[in-house]
Amino acid sequence: MQNSDRLPPRDLPRRRSGRHRNPLSFDSWVGTPTFILAVPATETGDTDQTGPQLVDLVRSYRPEVTVRSGHVGEGEHSLNEALTDLQPVEDHPLRGIVVPLTTSPHPATDEAIAAAVESSGADVRVTEALGPHPMLAETLHLRLAEAGFVRADRMRLINVVAPSTGMTDGVIVGAVGGEDAFNAAGVTAVLLAARLGITVLPASLDDGENLRGVLDQLEQAGCSQPVIAPSAVGPEFSGEEAQALAEHHGVRASAPLGPDSTLAKIAALRYAEVLNSLGIEEPPTTEELPAPVGSRHRPEN
């Protein structure tokens, strides 16, 4: 006879794995290292608000983690200052994770981050840049739409451009940081072209000859109203620089990406990637796992 006083067994929730697992999840047993956003230096040396604003956005994705930012270079709120209390601790797998706020490899920023980590002696890992990533194309699309250069429709809808309108018929995804940045911009350009249905090409914004060649290529393809879309967060290439460059070449430009919730999500993904790699490299022992709960695990009387 079944005991009516006994509660039915309760199944423990299972963490989803495989291709449908939440990419923002991570193995909580490794702890929660400090999340540091490394902000590139500005041309003027001034500290802008990109870092603090992105910190607030990242916290919506990682509320359980200490999030801070620091700009590369000297002065207040620098990366060196953000790393000062993150020295190695015994039996702690990692004290912090540094996410560069660049959309691609950026030699000056990457070297400054490496120098700050070495001089501080912090126990941290530095992730890859935010891009290339499919969501960067989404953010570039939004910046172009905000400026009225393209429609804000969903991807794969064709833009019908008339010569009398202010909408563009060709986009240049502007890279900052050399050859690796140019290659990353090429990936973003392909993804953006799929969203807009118009010609999109990459170009190096710090190489005037390359940019001029891409503009000539667009003109030969029949584009009469090209727009430069900087694939940069902002400090490493400001909106003023983008406008000055566009005016020099007789074209228009959209704003840099700036503090954006999509960029914050990509940064959170980079953080989770490092933690999940730690979980694979150093699996927890049975002593580190929490004790099972539920009626089926009740001790025998």
Q: What is the CATH number of the domain that holds 239?
A: 3.40.50
Q: What pLDDT was estimated at residue 42?
A: 76
Q: What pLDDT was estimated at residue 83?
A: 96
Q: What pLDDT was estimated at residue 97?
A: 97
6 in a structural domain: no
Pair (52, 145) in one structural domain: no
Asked if residues 135 and 61 have their Cβ atoms less than 8 Å apart, the reply is no
Pair (271, 232) in one structural domain: no
300 in a structural domain: no
Q: What pLDDT was estimated at residue 296?
A: 46
Give the whole-angstrom CA distance, residue 207 versus residue 217.
16
Q: What pLDDT was estimated at residue 182?
A: 96
Q: Tell me how many degrees the CA angle 237-187-261 measures, rounded to the nearest 5.
A: 55
Range of the domain at 101: 22-130+261-281
* pLDDT mean by block of 10 residues, the chain; 301 residues: 50 46 51 91 69 94 92 87 92 91 95 96 96 93 94 56 70 95 96 94 96 96 95 92 96 95 95 82 46 48 48
Pair (146, 249) in one structural domain: yes
Give the whole-angstrom CA distance, residue 129 versus residue 76.
24
12 in a structural domain: no
91 in a structural domain: yes
Pair (139, 121) in one structural domain: no
Pair (150, 222) in one structural domain: yes
Helix (H) or strand (E) segment spanning residue 240 = helix 239-248
Pair (175, 34) in one structural domain: no
Pair (122, 148) in one structural domain: no
- Residue identified by tokens 């118009």 is 198
Burial of 140 (C-beta count, 10 Å sphere; 0-12/13-18/19+): buried
8 in a structural domain: no
Pair (44, 124) in one structural domain: yes
235 in a structural domain: yes
Cβ within 8 Å of residue 42, ≥6 positions away? 48, 71, 235, 236, 238
293 in a structural domain: no
Pair (231, 85) in one structural domain: no
What is the tally of structural domains in the chain?
A: 2
Whether the model clears a pTM of 0.85, i.e. scores above it, the answer is no
Give the whole-angstrom CA distance, residue 182 versus residue 92.
38
CATH number at residue 89: 3.40.50.1400
Q: What pLDDT was estimated at residue 273?
A: 92
For residue 132, cis peptide bond before it (omega within 30 degrees of 0): yes
Tokens at 103, concatenated: 């959309």
Pair (140, 248) in one structural domain: yes
